[in-house]
Every structure is written in structure tokens, then in C-alpha cells.
Chains A and B, each alone.
Chain A
Amino acid sequence: MLPIRCPWCGEREQTEFSYGGEAHIVRPTDSADLTDAEWGDYVFFRTNPRGLHYERWFHAFGCRRWFNMARDTVSGAIHGTYRPGEPRTDVPDAPRVPVAGGDGGEG
């Protein structure tokens, strides 16, 4: 059970949260112009890294806010949480993780 620091409520146990998958995947606004493959990439394909993962969590039993978390999928280390729209938690020495879509716009 991870202790997760909600950016609003502070540290709470994982059982108060639900997981929302990879963060910073921007929904295409020009979907009509996308090929099936490009659209399929957005809907189904994820980075799924071994290592640093930027991901979304929802404080379902708390303030009901979505936020982002940087966590290592191997070591289990949580490097930080931050609100949507805030810059990513800087993780020194962490491997650079490619982001969906390549250019990594903030969500």
C-alpha cells in the first residue's frame, strides 16, 4: 500500500485513491484528421516504462481531485506528486521517459 501525497489533502493511504494510468496524454483536438493508427495510438498505446512513470491518480475517497505522480515502476519509489497543469516533478538522475505523442505537452 503506497502512501500517496495528495497535493491538496496531504499524505493518505493508497486505498483512498484510484489509479488513472499514464499522465500527460493529451487528447487530440483534431481527431477527424488522424489516421486510424494515430487515433489508436492515443487510445490504446502507453509508454509502460520500466522505471520512471508519470501517472495519474484520483483521490476518490478524499477531495476527489485528479493529480499526477512520478513513480518508479521498478524500485517503487514515489518521486513526487503535483497538480494538473503544474510542471512535472523533477527527478534528478532519472532516465528520460518518452511521452506519448513525442513532444510531451502538459496535460
Chain B
Amino acid sequence: MSWLLPSAIAVPLLAAGLTVLVGRRLAAQRVLAATGVTFTLGAAIALLVQADRGGPVVAQVGGWAAPAGITLVADRFSAIVLTVSAAMLVAVLAYAVGQLGRDALDWWFHAKYLVLTAGVAMSLLTGDLFNLFVGFEMMLIASYVLLTVRTGPSQVRSTVSYVVINLVASALFLVLIAFTYGATGTVNLADLAGRLSEIDPAVSEGLGLLMLVVFGIKAGLFPLFMWLPDSYPTAPAPVTAIFAGLLTKVGVFVIIRTQTLLFPSEGPSTLLLFVAGATMVVGVLGAIAQNDVKRILSFHIISQIGYMIMGLGFLSVAGLTAAILYITHHIVVKTGLFLVGGLVETEQGTGALHRTGGLLHRRPIVAVLFLPLALSLAGIPPFSGFVAKLALVQEGVALGRGVIVAVSLAVGLLTLFSMTKIWSATFWGEPAESAGRAGSGVLAATAVVVATSLAVTVFAQPLIELSARAATELLDPAIYITAVLGGG
């Protein structure tokens, strides 16, 4: 089964190359894109099953044993996140095809989308620090070109900011690689885990903090997030949806991976919990201040990241279980919300709250799609966000971390507040002029995402059991290290 690991990355790459070769034959591009992305989803599911039954699946690319070669690893954690991500990539591709049907966004959309898919898969599966850099760059270059295409004068500045900030982050990543290799002589994560414990603990800890910062920029942690809400809202809906759903979560994934594998420690981390709380609060305040659907949702990306870091900050099985469940839930819900935001823009021509209204009466289906996602985001039962938040709150109470629990609940209320702001201004009120009509394709794609989020609710128990097994695995780095260095 280990052949699935490189294939999950390389098949979309091959498809990307082929879409470039077939040129302007749109139908062929679509078939290739759908095949590539769906293959990754299938591979992810197979890997998840395999990793859950028999422990981490490892592939040494090129046949060179770690730590010389690049190792790809699918343990439960990476397989879960990859599965959810790939599912969203498939759904959003369907949405994009539906939306861009007549007026193709640009000729190379599918190639870029496939490279984004490959980049996400590589970043999630790789067991190598430098390969992670490459995976990030693939993800980023695809995101740059998806974000910048067809930008007008008003958006060009925000996309420029996005690219520049990410280049600064990439430079910092290179500094991290230089320091890490300089101090340890390896870039293989499993090998690093051992070597970092042998060097001066001060250096090791410093590298851990540098990693937190470097990946924190990608994840949108406080106070490194400001670029995100300025740039995400400018892209077309499917592009923003996939950015919002996946990119920051890849950052969170890498933070959790590196902090648990490379810098294992006992007991809750006050630093992480502080960062978590600050991220939640600042993000939600930003959301409240906004007056545009996509901007509100973008700030909520930040705020929600705080919850995932909160779970990590507990550094316990239950805390990480909650974090993993939260990531799963959030990827789906956030993607869905941005897709609904896209529906609003299609219907009303804008997402600016003072110009929308009455959509509940004109297109009730959009309201029906919005409501469960919005309530889930705010952590209202019985939706998936509630289950994930309950898991966090229970662990916070059990550990006696009252402050972060109180903050997380208060932020939940403010989230509800900003969701009612969207509801009130967009779905209620005097109907705004109709600008268009969302087609059945985009509605169906959105409905699939909503259904997925409801499935997370219904199957919360098996999911939480799976997450708990993944969390246990994360807190025992020896499993990962043995899988990479010992076997394969």
C-alpha cells in the first residue's frame, strides 16, 4: 500500500502536466483534474484505513532508506487531515466547474488546482523538513497564481501583500532549515527527533519556537495573521473556499506534527494556550468589525485556528483528540461557508452587507445551506462545531484551565453574533436586486459539503475514537520514529 503515498502527490502532478499539454480543450482538462483530485481522495481513504489498522504507512521515495531519502508517512493524523482535505478539494472542484462553466476563469485553472492538491498532499505526508518546504512552495505558488489571476486595480495590492508576506515566511523557513541542519545534520523529521534531544536543550527549544513562528505565519496565529483577512476575500469563491478550508489548516497540521514529534513535553503549555486565546479573541473581534461576508468569514478563520491550538496547548490525549476533531470539522464547515458566500455573491452581485438583503425569501435554499454551517461554526448544538468545542471545554475543565475555557466560550458567543450579522443583513431585510442565479451544479456541490459537515455530527463518535487513536499516536513519537527509521 505504500505506493499510494507518492502516488497521492504525483498523480495530480501528472494530471497537471497533462492538462497543460492538452491545451485549451476544456473538457479534457476537467476530466484530468477530476481524475487527479479524486485519485488523491481515494488514496487518502485507503491510507487512512491502512494506517488505522496497521500503524503508520511509510514510503521511502526513490527506494533510499531514511534518513538519506525522502520519507513519506501516513499515520492516522496525516491520513485524517488528508482525507478531509481531499474530499473538500473534490467538492470545490465540482463547484468551480459549475461556476466557471461558461466563463472559464483562466486556461490553466485546472493545472494550478492540481498543483495545489499535490502541494497540500505533499505537505501533509512528508516526513522531511526540506521536502515540507518544497510542498509549501508548491501550495503557495498555486495559491499565488489562483489568487492573482484576473485581479483588478483594487485587488492587486492585497494579492501583492499576500505574495510578499509569504516570501518573507519562506525566507524564514530557509533560516529555520539552515539552523536546523547546522545544529543536527539532518532534515528527516524522525531523525531530527532523536538528534534534537541530544543537542543543547536551549538550541533545541529555540528551534522549536522558530518552527512555531514560521508555521504560525501559515496557520494565521496571533500576532502573525494580519495578511490573511486582507488577501483571502479578493479571490473568486471556490479559490477562497479552498484556501480558507485547507491552507491555514496545513499550517496547524505542521505545528501539531512538529511540536509533538520534535519537542515532546509534559503538561499544558501556557505559551500555546495564550497564543490560542489571543488568536481567538483578536480574530473574532476582527470578524465583528467587518461588513462583508467574505471578510467576516476570513477573520473567523483566524479565530477558529485558536481552538485548534487550544487543543494542542493541552498536550494531552483528550486535548489533541479535540484538536484533530476540530480540524476535521473546521475544514468542512469553513469550505462550505465560503462556498455559500460565493452563492450570495452570485445571487446578489456582492457580499457587502449594506447592499445585500432578503435572500431568505428569494432563494431559501441558500439560507438552508448557510444555517447549519454558521451554527456549527459558532458551536451551537447539535452541529459538528459543538461536539468539537465540547471536547475542548471538557478537557479544559478537567485540567483546571478556566481562563481559556471562558475565553473559548465567550468567543463562541461573539461568533454567533457575527453570524447573525450575516444572516440579518443578507438573508433578512428588504430583498436586494437580483444579480444572477446560482446554478444547480454549485448548489449541489455546496450541499455535498453541508452534508459532509452533518455527517461529521452524526458520526462524531467513530470520528472521535479515530481522533483519539491518532492523538495517542502523536503523543508517542516512538511510533512514528520507528516506522520511519526502523522499518520501511
Asked if A and B bind, the verdict is no
On A, residues with C-beta under 8 Å from B are: none
On B, residues with C-beta under 8 Å from A are: none
